[in-house]
Amino acid sequence: MNCILLPVFSIVKYQILFYTKKTKIIKFDKNIILKRNTAMTETYAVPAIYQAIQERQKNTPMETPIQIAVCGSKSITNRALLLATLAAGRSTLRGALFSDDSEHFLHCVQDLGFQTDVDETAKVVTVTGCGGAVPKGEAHLYVGSAGTAARFLTAYLGISQGVYSMDASAQMRKRPMAPLLDSLKELGCEILYKEETSQEGHFPFIIKSHGFQKDRITVNIDSSSQFLSALLISSCLSKEDFTIYVEGTHGQSYIDMTVKMMKQFGVTTTPLYYCGGNSESHSCSGCVNSTVPMGYRTAAGQSYKAAEYQIEPDVSAACYFYAMSPLLGIPVQVEHVHFDSLQGDVAFLRILEKMGCRALEEKEGIVLTPPKNGVFHGVTADMSACSDQAITLAAIAPFADAPTTITGIGHIRFQESDRIRAIATELGKMGIRCEEKEDAVTIFPSQPKASLVETYDDHRMAMGFSLTGLRAEGIVIDNPLCCKKTFVEYFDVLDRTVQKLLSR
């Protein structure tokens, strides 16, 4: 992974800046000077550009949207990598994401013996799958902090035939794995803990797999929908019809993505619902709880087909830029993001509409326009379908006209950080009142004070709280490089966006 230079910006009015070898001065008009420190830093001083943009809009309202391109989707890239390994033949994945998480996944695929060709410049990966077989019967895999690699590969190897040593970063070692491991043990897989200090239900461990010993299992997804997605993708390798019963309802949008991508590669799995009238489990659309499946059945005899596959832009990444619309009062368009996306985070745009924005579907991508009066509303939002954007909403909530309550997010306490606690802590340091609950947080509006934002090595904390600094002076992001987990160039793209806005 190549390091990137993260520039530090600050907006200064009527102030003389001294020029040094490490500093470039770019003058946009007599009132605004942009100072750029090109040296590598461990912090990122967010440019507070809100007032400058408002002054400009008084004279020339911004009617043409600022256009932004983002990286490929992490969720789709990593699912496509696994589906390609399970297919028979050579698949080509275009628009692939290259980040810490996706590269860990790719390296694991290579360590298992699959043939790959990688063109990072063109964002293309080709994988030659073996029709469900794993080339190596023994391997050591390191998944880093990639939750998708950790869960998807564990499930795949757990129903294969072989012995696999699995390890992860210190961060991933803290995240839950027990529900998936318990399901694999139901199927006859042995899970051995190779270190005396290992905690049961967590990395590191050794998988001794013996294929499918049963035709049905139960998995709990309260802490992560990835457990179910992992088992679904590999379910077609069973020689019999295979049924997965589900406990919990978390992350249905990600499960829907998995089911749709399975179908794109040639395998159909059928959702099951519970019919209260005759105590029967079957596939239908009119039963009690029919909107949330109680399980899935994958018919035997299906197999994945190699494919030419175009990966969508990362909607999670796009949402940071769409949030600038109400925050800065500007129209925003992210290229090739549409409401028919496979990604659940597109629901975040509907929340921004409730706050007063307007979303327009256009050929080049959705255009989001700000509230006409420049004031956006506080909302109560169930973000269970787009929980990766909880931090994004929390970061702009202090500037709303009323309190904002985010619900349905209890599971984010078990992600890269305890995100509910991190939100409340970092906003509290800025003088923003928050009320924290087990699965929710309420943010009360107030002008944030200058603060150093701790990111907890959580990429979404770094990217999300950069938004706060666009409208509040003195916000500095600690350890901005943690964004390389999913969006290596985030702060470069942010810098380019700032320059575009100030040069209009």
Which residue matches tokens 């390890």? 167
Stated length of the chain: 504
How large is the C-alpha radius of gyration of the chain?
24
DSSP state string for 307-349: -EEEPPB-HHHHHHHHTHHHHHT--EEETT--TT-S-GGGGHH
Range list of H helices, 175-220: 178-186
- As a whole number of angstroms, the distance between CA 260 and CA 342 comes to 8
Three-class DSSP category at 128: strand
367 strand-pairing partners: 333, 360
Q: At 320, list the tokens.
A: 């940071």
| Catalytic residue check, 388 | yes
Q: Which residue in the list 256, 314, 345, 388 is annotated as catalytic?
A: 388
Q: Work out the angle at residue 177's Cα, subtended by the Cα atoms of residues 174 and 179, and round it to the nearest 5 degrees.
A: 140
Q: How far apart are CA 68 and CA 149, in angstroms?
A: 28
Give, as one character, the DSSP assignment of residue 215: S
Phi, psi for residue 338 in degrees, rounded to 5: -135, 160
Tokens read off for 469: 């600094």
d(CA 163, CA 173): 20
The catalytic site residues sit at 388
